[in-house]
Amino acid sequence: MGDARQLILDRVKAALAILPEKKPLPEYPADVALSLGAPAPGDAVAGFREQLESVRGRSFTDPAALGAWLAEQGATRGYCDPALAGWLGTALGGDLALETTLDRDRIDDYQFGITRAWGAVAETGSLILDDATTSRRLGALAPWIHIAVVAPERILPDVGSAIAALGDDPNVIFCTGPSKTADVEGILIEGVHGPGEQVALIYSRA
């Protein structure tokens, strides 16, 4: 850790130390999350796919179909979570080159990144990434195409259920479709501070 960063953290800790005891977090009612047309119970996968596609994301349930789509995009080189590469490299088919070590000096060479997702939310089409599950955060954010592998049983019906199920990981990201911003003159631009293509591979390997 750099000296400047440590100095800032030390000052923050010192300032917090003189504060009175922290107040407990508020208790929200179970129905605090507004319904956005969440699917009926038992149809979370279909609902998630529909919501994800409504925000310009993509989803696949067949690795071979995903591999064919990557080939169509000309995306043949990418980073892959080492825990997935053994079986996924074969399942994707084609001539895709999967690297299991992310080289920061070659970050622009990765046309896609494949990481695991902690789960997903059917209500919003959001993928949930946390530090414990995501092998390399940069592999999920830097390549133009990010593929999150999520097990169908980890697709929760709504935001409230997802928040209730989260553990104590301090870094959790809800990704809803590709990265986008409209800060400049109200013009929507995708892929500015993250992937321009957000893809979910809904698959559970037995």
Annotate 137-166 with DSSP letters as a single string: HHHHHSSSEEEEEE-GGGEESSHHHHHHH-
Domain boundary assignment for the chain: 42-202
- Gap between the Cα atoms of 162 and 62, Å rounded: 25
87-91, 158-162, 192-196, 200-204 — which is least confidently predicted? 192-196
Beta strand ranges found along the chain (DSSP E): 58-60, 77-80, 97-99, 112-116, 119-121, 126-130, 145-150, 155-156, 172-175, 180-181, 189-190, 197-202
42 pLDDT exceeds 90? no
What does 29-53 look like in DSSP terms, one character per residue?
PTT-SPPS-PPPTT-HHHHHHHHHH
pLDDT digits (tens, 9 = 90+) for 111-136: 999 999 999 999 999 999 999 999 99
Note the pLDDT of residue 30.
60
Query: What pTM was computed for the model?
Result: 0.79
- Does the pLDDT at position 45 exceed 80? yes
- The residues facing 114 across adjacent strands are 80, 147
pLDDT tier at 185 (50, 70, 90 boundaries)?
Answer: confident
Which percentage of the chain shows pLDDT scores above 70? 89
pLDDT over threshold 60, residue 40:
no
Is the predicted pLDDT of residue 31 greater than 80, yes or no?
A: no
Separation CA 118–CA 78 (nearest Å): 21
Cα 137 to Cα 135: distance, rounded to the nearest angstrom: 7
Kindly report the CATH number that applies to the domain delimited by 42-202: 3.40.50.10420
